[in-house]
Amino acid sequence: MAIERVGIIGSGIMGSGIAEVAARAGHQVVLRSRTAETAADMVTRLEKSLGKQVEKGKLDDAERDAVLARVTATSDLEALADCDLVVESVIEDLGVKQALFAELDRIVRPGAILASNTSTLPVIELAVATARPDRVCGVHFFNPAPAMALVELVRPLTASDDTMGEVRAFAERCGKEPVEVADRAGFIVNALLFPYLNNAVRMMENGTATRDDIDAAMRGGCNFPMGPFALLDLVGLDTSLAILDALYDEFRDPNYAPVPLLRRMVSAGKLGRKSGSGFYDYAR
Ligand SMILES: NC(=O)c1ccc[n+]([C@@H]2O[C@H](COP(=O)([O-])OP(=O)(O)OC[C@H]3O[C@@H](n4cnc5c(N)ncnc54)[C@H](O)[C@@H]3O)[C@@H](O)[C@H]2O)c1
């Protein structure tokens, strides 16, 4: 079954980015946020982002208008009923996502695929919250979704080959380079990346080097486009903490145990770019 109509749930960093990617690839997109205001904000953000592409000459006015014409925003979950694929991208909280999957299962037409953009949570726990576990999988975009080539397709034990094939075709139509991975916390990228990010915070805390020197070292010595602190701020410290907690819960590897400073910063509301302050300060 070809995926034409895509529902996106969650108006955070990732939801908006995935909506842009899917709409630019020619899909009909229904954006769902909890309130009418945040749904409208998502469209405003999309307009801004597309406007930037027009300024850079990557998109013309007619293409921008066509993309926007394919997008509708709503606060009503029922509006997702006739989607072929729904990508959930709300807060990284298993209870919240499970409740949402159970509700989506009731609302969205039988046979449609329900996917999560979770970074670490067990996709099987979302699959078994529905009566269609063969049609549930992970479709994990990277941040910022319009710019990053990778999509991890996460296969829980229950997913059918057809489901995985259809989400692969969707990711490819979106111009992405999908990889398939088993349903283990962190999948490929975060399981390898987060011990590094966590250890960078530990290294700063124990006085081995400063934030700026650690970031400079990883940019200059490994050719990374940004250092670990800049990347933590981009991902969001709350999301990063949730990822480390989930990795530690699953594997009990001390490299995954979040450094206390990270938890304290989240408690203090220092979430990175999205809150205006994290390891660095950002003009808002
Ligand atoms: N930030 C990243 O770099 C990144 C990358 C890939 C995947 N993800 C995953 O994407 C998902 C969303 O992350 P984000 O970075 O966009 O987060 P975000 O904090 O920017 O947005 C979270 C969204 O969830 C909504 N939300 C909060 N509580 C809710 C509730 N109780 N019920 C329904 N919605 C609720 C918020 O209104 C917001 O729209 C998470 O599963 C995260 O792990 C994040």
Residues paired with residue 152 on neighbouring β-strands, in sequence order:
140, 179
- Ligand 1, closest atom to CA 143? 3
Q: How far is the CA of 126 from the CAs of 107, 144, 190, in angstroms?
A: 15, 24, 19
Strand pairing report for 71-74 and 150-155: unpaired
Residue 191 confidence (pLDDT): 95
pLDDT value at position 252?
97
Contact criterion met (CB below 8 Å) for 174 and 151: yes
d(CA 225, CA 45): 25
Rounded CA-CA distance 172/71 in Å is: 20
Is residue 108 over pLDDT 90? Answer: yes
The answer, yes or no, to whether residue 3 has pLDDT greater than 80, is yes
> Distance of CA 8 to CAs 21, 216, 265, Å?
11, 37, 30
In the sheet where 28-32 sits, what is the strand order?
Answer: 71-74, 28-32, 5-9, 85-88, 113-116, 136-141, 150-155, 177-182
Whether the pLDDT of residue 185 is over 90: the answer is: yes
Per DSSP, what are the bridge partners of residue 36? none
Q: What is the pLDDT of residue 283?
A: 84
Q: The tokens 């329900």 sit on which residue?
A: 114
Supply the residue whose CA is at minimum distance from atom 17 of ligand 1: 12
Q: 7: closest CA among 26, 36, 35, 29?
A: 29
- Please give the DSSP secondary-structure letter assigned to residue 24: H
User: Helix or strand or coil: residue 153?
Assistant: strand
Which residues approach ligand 1 with their CB closer than 6 A?
10-15, 34, 89-92, 96, 117-119, 140-143, 235-236, 239, 274
Tens-digit pLDDT profile for residues 36-82: 999 999 999 999 999 999 999 989 999 999 999 999 999 999 999 99
121 touches 101 (CB < 8 A)? no
- Residue 127's φ and ψ, nearest 5 degrees, are -60, -45
Residues that are catalytic? 119, 140, 152, 190
Residue 83 is predicted with a pLDDT of 98
Q: Which of 77, 91, 103, when mutated, tests ligand 1's pocket best, judged by the most ligand atoms within 8 Å of its CB?
A: 91
Say if CB 192 and CB 247 are below 8 A apart: no
- What band does 13 get if pLDDT is binned at 50, 70 and 90? confident
What distance in angstroms lies between residue 220's CA and the mean position of ligand 1's atoms? Answer: 31
| Residue with the two structure tokens 């509700």 | 103
What is the share, in percent, of the chain residues with pLDDT greater than 70?
100
The one-letter amino acid at 46? L
The pLDDT tens digits for 224-283 are 999 999 999 999 999 999 999 999 999 999 999 999 999 999 999 999 999 999 999 998
Phi, psi angle pair for 75, to nearest 5°: -105, 5
CA 205–ligand 1 middle distance (angstroms): 28
pLDDT at 190 over 80: yes
Question: Is the sign of the CA dihedral 15, 16, 19, 20 positive or negative?
Answer: negative
- In this structure, how many other beta carbons lie within 10 angstroms of the beta carbon of residue 210? 12
95, pLDDT greater than 80: yes
1, pLDDT greater than 80 = no
Residue 87 pLDDT:
98
Q: What is the average pLDDT value for the chain, to the nearest integer?
A: 96
User: At residue 94, does pLDDT exceed 90?
Assistant: yes
11 CA: nearest ligand 1 atom: 39
**What six digits make up the tokens of 64?**
């921008």
pLDDT at residue 220 in the model: 98
pLDDT at 174: 98
Q: How far apart are CA 83 and CA 196, in angstroms?
A: 38
